[in-house]
């Protein structure tokens, strides 16, 4: 009897061992993911989740909806990081270039952003040409001596500098607009072309989420540069506000920066297979998204805990399979140019004295190239 019990115990242990090992092998790998509650920042993660692509590649995404890029970068670059990977806009894209401390790298190109806008109370800008849009000269005239409210550490901060560069183009330095801002980091590397009081544009650092209330209050903000969903809320709720400038309407192609995914370099070095699987899930999700944009918007709203129909796809350009294949066909193709243009534009934002990572180290392209070669 004792012998029979012993045999049964051994067999039970074997089964437990086999099934225990099987469970371990099939267990999903936790990945801490930062997303933004807008059309660009949530759509790809939502598509991958809804279509079961994270599970397909053995990943259990633990999502954190971040308030802004700077908060996300702090979480990802901390000594005890709380995020492994995440979506970012152009505003904080200097972080993958910064070689100091706990570094990070670009791993995927998500969308081309059209989410940034310059909005103003009606009457601030004059449509001198009467063509129902504002050209560079009209924007120049309207901005003279104005105060603009921007969350300067996010994408609209750099976006507004680029807008000023466009409207200043062709004018002598003595006549150009120049920026004044109490946030010193915003002016790092910036050299004002003149100091004429009448040409000064005051930039006030203001949380993007606070722009709708500021524009709605009497005697409050009159001109803001922001990103969706704040810009959508302003336009929806305030009939006295108009769109002055957008990325697609006012910027040349080389100034339209991509939104990207970045990851902790330490996480990459310790989990390269998981990183590759994560990028595979993103890539397959991007292909599905390109053909199911409305469904993706609804999934993104659900993931972001936003009301139905609050996300508008007009604020993003969503690449298709043919786009990805042509954009990364070789090192001189458009995808590389988009990311390199972003890289070059953000080098001045790397803190003074910190190492600037070379482009091929800042953008770890092997992950996206491997995904493209999969033939999905």
Among 34, 32, 33, 43, which Cα is nearest to 229's?
A: 43
Residue ranges of the chain with per-residue pLDDT less than 50: 1-25
Pairing of the two strands 200-205 and 178-181: parallel
Per-residue pLDDT at 248: 75
pLDDT at 253: 65
Set out the domains of the chain in order of their start, with CATH numbers.
28-112+258-373 (3.40.190.10), 116-255 (3.40.190.10)
Angle between helices 155-168 and 334-346 (to 10 degrees): 90
Question: With b meaning 16 or more CB within 10 Å and e meaning fewer, what string describes 166-199?
Answer: bbbeeeeeeebbbbebeeeebbeeeeebeeeeeb
How far apart are alpha carbons 64 and 72 in whole angstroms?
A: 9
pLDDT digits (tens, 9 = 90+) for 243-275: 999 887 888 766 778 999 999 999 999 999 999
Rounded-to-integer distance, Cα 230 and Cα 210, Å? 8
**Cα–Cα nearest to 264, from 38, 115, 67, 76:** 76
Amino acid 19: pLDDT: 37
């Amino acid at each position: 009897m004792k012998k029979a019990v012993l045999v049964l115990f051994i067999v039970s242990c074997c089964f437990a061992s086999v099934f225990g090992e099987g469970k371990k092998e099939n267990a999903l790998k936790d990945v801490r993911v930062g997303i933004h509650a807008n059309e660009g920042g949530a759509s790809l993660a939502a598509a991958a989740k809804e279509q079961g692509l994270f599970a397909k590649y053995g990943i259990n995404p633990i999502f954190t909806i971040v308030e802004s890029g700077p908060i996300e970068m702090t979480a990802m670059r901390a000594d005890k990081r709380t995020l492994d990977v995440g979506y970012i806009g152009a505003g904080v894209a200097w972080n993958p270039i910064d070689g100091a401390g706990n570094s990070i790298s670009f791993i995927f190109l998500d969308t081309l952003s059209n989410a940034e806008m310059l909005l103003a109370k009606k009457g601030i800008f004059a449509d001198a040409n009467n063509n129902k849009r504002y050209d560079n000269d009209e924007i120049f005239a309207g901005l003279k001596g104005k105060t603009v409210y921007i969350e300067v550490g996010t994408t609209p901060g750099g976006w507004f500098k680029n807008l000023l560069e466009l409207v200043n183009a062709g004018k002598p330095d003595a006549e150009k607009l120049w920026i004044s801002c109490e946030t010193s980091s915003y002016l790092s590397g910036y050299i004002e072309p003149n100091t004429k009081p009448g040409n000064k544009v005051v930039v006030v650092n203001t949380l993007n989420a606070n722009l709708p209330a500021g524009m709605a209050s009497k005697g409050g903000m009159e001109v803001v540069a922001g990103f969706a969903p704040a810009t959508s809320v302003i336009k929806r709720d305030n009939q006295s506000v108009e769109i002055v400038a957008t990325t697609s309407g006012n910027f040349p192609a080389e100034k339209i920066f991509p939104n990207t995914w970045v990851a902790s370099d330490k996480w990459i070095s310790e989990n390269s297979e998981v990183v590759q699987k994560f990028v595979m899930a993103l890539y397959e999700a991007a292909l599905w998204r390109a053909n199911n944009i409305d469904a993706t918007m609804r999934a993104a709203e659900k993931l972001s805990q936003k009301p139905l129909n609050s996300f508008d796809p007009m604020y993003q350009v969503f690449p298709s399979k043919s786009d990805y294949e042509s954009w990364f066909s070789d090192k001189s193709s458009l995808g590389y140019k988009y990311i390199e243009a972003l890289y070059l534009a953000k080098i001045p934002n790397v803190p003074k004295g910190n190492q600037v990572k070379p482009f091929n180290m800042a953008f770890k392209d092997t992950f996206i190239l491997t995904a493209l070669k999969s033939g999905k």
